[in-house]
Structure 1
Amino acid sequence: MRIIADKDVCIGAGQCVLTDSKTFDQSEEDGTVIVLAEHPDDEQKVREAVHVCPSQALSIEE
């Protein structure tokens, strides 16, 4: 599993960080997503974060 984040689509809602703060963070400059672990340990949390992203900026590559 690999996380793909489209920063051009991200609106900085922060739902990914609230769901999995070990894998996601937000840029201090514009609030867009930062992927801390491209290949995460907790796949369930990552899948939930992708699901709750309001702008659909996150996706998973299997």
Structure 2
Amino acid sequence: MRRQKRDMSDRAFQRGYQAGVSGRSNETCPHSNDDQRLCWLSGWREGRSDQWDGLTGVSGVHKAVV
């Protein structure tokens, strides 16, 4: 649990993925640090692509984002 809190880039990716899957705009990125912003946007892009492919809700359970 503590390791997850320390790895801010992975956490930013996860949060970006969740934002992308839920359909939020990429303008809602909360990070000002360039590295974390890039990770968040990468996650957001992957989340949006999964949303467009229909991998949301129960049909997206098989997609493991770790």
TM (norm. structure 1) is 0.28
Between 1 and 2, higher relative CO (CA 8 Å, sep ≥ 6) is seen in 1
Larger Rg: 2
Q: Which of the pair is proportionally richer in helix?
A: 2
Q: Which of the pair is proportionally richer in strand?
A: 1
